[in-house]
Structure 1
Amino acid sequence: MAEDLKKMYRTIMEDHFPDSLCIRFGDQELKYRKRSWKFPDPKTGELIEKGLRYGENPGQEAALYELIGGNLTLGDCRFIDPNSGLVSAIREEDMLQEGKHPGKTNLTDLDNGLNILKYLMGKPAAVILKHNNPCGAAYGKTLADAYYRANRADRIAAFGGCLVLNRPLDKETAELVSQNYLEVVAAPDYEEGALDLLKKRANLRIIQVRKIDRLTDFLSRRFVDFKSLIDGGLIVQQSPLNRVLEAKDLKLAETVSSGKTYKIRREPTPGEMEDLLFGWFIEQGVTSNSVLYVKDGCTVGIGTGEQDRVGVAEIAVYKAYQKYADALCHERYQMSYKELELAIEKGNRPREQQEEIDAETRAVNGGLKGAAMVSDAFFPFRDGVDVGLRQGISAVVQPGGSMRDWEVIEACNEANATMVFTGQRAFKH
């Protein structure tokens, strides 16, 4: 059974989807073409042409389509024009190394990485994704610094992930990247010597996305978002547009309840404002219900896809502690925290090593002291924000709009924390 599954993972499936696709909206039509790539057959060496490896799982046929014709305007919304492709327009020459041939999840991770990076183009930045969520994201003084910080934020989850960079990948960054196991590396270009280092991993998919320098063009463009139902039905919606792009788009939290006005007493410092914006940008690529913590332009703990807000805030705290301890352990002993635990249980290492790491992690609350807390929707009660405040977070960004905004404001004022409202929810499902 296990061998059968391994074989399925290695198999590039045939797909029976048509070469072209047309979608009509009344008298308007969008035209798509199926994408495929030519590459040498690993067994025979002959040139063959295939599309996606498979869908979300082996055994699921899948196809990638690029928008190539037509246009769509509904109401006052003009949707993205044809021939604007990023991931859907990747060509053979952009696959600098085809690796195991891309599947659906490889490309959707890359797509969400670009979705996040479009807000981060002002500085060198790196995003590592897994299962269409960021594991770690960071700005850096250099690209190598950005990658190091993003990877350190969640080194364990980054294993087998998709790395997306917003600057040409240089040799210094490639040296760091080549030490880890990744499924995909994508960048706008690759400097001399970088590809040689990356190609030492034969299964790594190395992709050049030439239009990354034009990502900011996509900040104001909507696409048609389809959600398929199990009965074959569809829900069609506009893609979201994030209205928060700079500090002036955030408002100091204020509300009126029972005739009384409640206001946040302290404005964000410049550093806090940078983190509030950075965190809100990362939030655009995180599956809801979500809460995340960021500090100094780097993610600290990311909670995703939970049903209650206080629960996801607690999960993000737990992850912050775990990831901080693991980073310390790896830097000190070149092993994961779990490997250290096991070595101690077997009597191969002194328990003091773990106790020292735990003490250092607790001393900084897993890196959460002074961090910013980000929520994709309002806090229905103060218990959610209290989770972060107890860990020493100093700033909060959230949409606002709860009947109990007043008590969340009170909670922040009690802790001398600042809070801003976006006036906009950021659900992503």
Structure 2
Amino acid sequence: MTDLKKMYSTILGDSFPMDMTISFGDQKLVYKKRTWKIAMEDGTVEERGVRYGENPDQEAALYELVNGNLTLGDCRFISPGNGLVSAIDVNDMLQVGKHPGKINLTDIDNGLNIIKYLVDHPSAVILKHNNPCGAAKDSSLANAFHRALRADRIAAFGGAVVLSRPCDIDTARLLAENYLEVVCAPDFENGTLDILAGRKNLRIIKIAAIDRLADFEKYRFVDFKSLIDGGIIAQQSAVNSIRSIEDLKPATTTWEGKEYTCDRQPTTEEIDDMLFGWAVEHGVTSNSVLYVKNGCTVGIGTGEQDRVGVAEIAVHKAYIKYADILCFDKYKIPYADLELAVEKGLRDRAEKEEIDSQVQEDRAGLPGCTMISDAFFPFRDGAEVGIRQGISAILQAGGSMRDFETIEACNEADPKVAMMYTGQRSFKH
């Protein structure tokens, strides 16, 4: 066990060069490896790059674009001087804890990828393994983080938090109550670092450019996927073009000469949840289905092979997380601990039964949710998973040959379910 623990504290180092150049014909992009001079506990200073890759035995390096401009076709890609994660220097690491590894950096990056569509509000995204486990916007930053945390308190353990506004005292106090790996914000107000310092291994990172993240909405970058044979697939990065009600399309289609239209139109609140959910969806691994309500995630299903399955998984997760938060609110222990204590005869079974009964009665908070699907429903059965749980609205890409079936499912629901199309798929692999 000692050796296993040591594995995670061992710094691997890397053999990657300090500079990297990628050529696209006669155009070149020049990158510089990011390293940091980090003060050690013994007073010495060491220059280090990324701690390690996805696993402790994988070397890794972080490169920042420092020169070159790329135009392919009618797309001009992001230019040097717009660094976010790749531009983090040692002064931005307000508390190093353990200096960041690859997963920490990619979690922050994907958090920024979501937050950039939510900067109009105090917003918080909590990520684990490059997927959001909770996201919320609210009237205050503390409320946004609190709601995002309660959406999935279990997965948030050891997660990374990205905030859209400077961290204030109230938010810092909430953050300090939880075990987190990383907190990232555009700034940290006076007194907040003293509060967060109680978590000595917490990485506290300031990225001032979060204040201008909205500028990044339309930027594209070259997205690389390396293959097992050493080959590379290059693509333009995705851009979320669903930013207002004007970008949404009515759920209507024609099948065998008959026109089908969704009977009920979404409310203003449902439209707001559609736009919020689609922004979060932009950072979720596909296939995915989300349930959101009042600007907060309720259930997130990620990375499944079939749409019915991921819709069911998102429901299942919502029930698990709802039971856990009810238990934590009432008994100050996780639901899993309550289950174990009941099995061992250490607690009254009636305590667990009361929680279970409340979860079933509330249907895990899913009634009134908006269901978000990152692509079309090939059959109506995927939408029906959410309809059975009492969702009130659906946002999906549209474009299936059987769109008419999903429209029928919404119209046959009691009460009827509103649905809109994006006309845009939001896959992320």
- Which residue in 2 is equivalent to 1:420? 420
Could you tell me which residue of structure 2 aligns to residue 195 of structure 1?
A: 193
1:7 aligns to 2:6 (yes or no): yes
* Equivalent residue pairs, number: 427
Which whole-Å deviations, capped at 9, do the CAs of 1:224-257 have from their partners, x for residues lacking one? Answer: 0000000000000000111101111011201111
SS in structure 2 at match of 1:362: helix
Question: What residue number does 2:385 align with?
Answer: 387
Q: Distance in 1 between matches of 2:379 and 2:243?
A: 27
Aligned to 1:320: 318
Identity %: 65
Q: Does 1:233 align with 2:231?
A: yes
Find the aligned partners of 1:406 and 1:307 in 2 and give their Cα distance. 23
1:358 positional shift: 1.2
1:356, CA displacement in angstroms? Answer: 1.3
Query: TM-score, length-normalised on structure 1?
Result: 0.99
Alignment partner of 1:27 is 2:35: no
* Matched position secondary structure for 2:154: helix
Q: SS of the residue aligned with 1:52?
A: coil
Runs of 5+ in structure 1 lacking a partner?
A: none
- Could you tell me which residue of structure 2 aligns to residue 154 of structure 1? 152
Partner of 2:376: 378
Aligned AA (1:284): H
The AA in structure 2 aligned to 1:20 is: D
CA distance in 1, matches of 2:109, 2:95: 18
Aligned to 2:305: 307
Distance across 2 between alignment mates of 1:31 and 1:413: 55
- 1:16 correspondence with 2:15: yes
Residue 395 (structure 2) aligns with: 397
Task: Tell me how far apart the structure 2 counterparts of residues 410 and 364 of structure 1 sit (CA, whole Å).
Answer: 26
What runs of 5+ residues in structure 2 fail to find an aligned partner? none
Matches within 5 A, 1:19-418: 19-42=18-41, 44-415=42-413, 416-418=416-418
Q: Distance in 1 between matches of 2:360 and 2:336?
A: 17
Whole-angstrom CA distance in 1 between matches of 2:300 and 2:57: 31
The letter for the 2-side match of 1:307 is Q
Following the alignment from structure 2 to structure 1, what is the Cα–Cα distance between the partners of residues 405 and 80?
48
SS of the aligned residue for 1:115 comes to helix
- Shift in Å, 1:326: 0.5
Aligned partners of 2:365 and 2:154: how far apart in 1?
17
CA-atom RMSD in angstroms: 0.7
Structure 2: which amino acid aligns with 1:245? R
C-alpha distance after superposition, 1:21-65 (max 9, x if no partner) = 0000000000100001111234x4311100000000001000000
| Per-residue deviation, 1:171 | 0.8
In structure 2, what residue type is equivalent to 1:37? W
Q: 1:141: how far off?
A: 1.7
The one-letter code sitting in structure 1 at the alignment partner of 2:29 is L
Q: Secondary structure at the match of 1:360?
A: helix
Determine helix, strand or coil for the equivalent of 1:364: helix
Deviation per residue, 1:402-421 (Å, 9 max, x gap) = 01000001001111000000
Aligned mates of 1:396, 1:47 — CA distance in 2: 54
Residues 113-136 of structure 1, C-alpha deviation per residue, up to 9 Å, x if partnerless?
000000101111000000000010
User: 3-state DSSP class of the match of 2:329?
Assistant: helix
Greater than 3 Å deviation, 4+ residue runs: none
Distance 1:345 1:15 in 2: 48
What secondary structure is seen at the aligned counterpart in 2 of 1:255? strand
Q: What is the deviation of 1:357?
A: 1.2
SS class of match (1:85): coil
Secondary structure of residue in 2 paired with 1:195? helix
Q: Supply the AA of the counterpart residue of 2:418.
A: T
In structure 1, what is the Cα distance between the partners aligned to 2:281 and 2:171? 25
Aligned partner of residue 407 in structure 1, secondary structure: helix
Q: CA deviation at 1:4?
A: 2.5
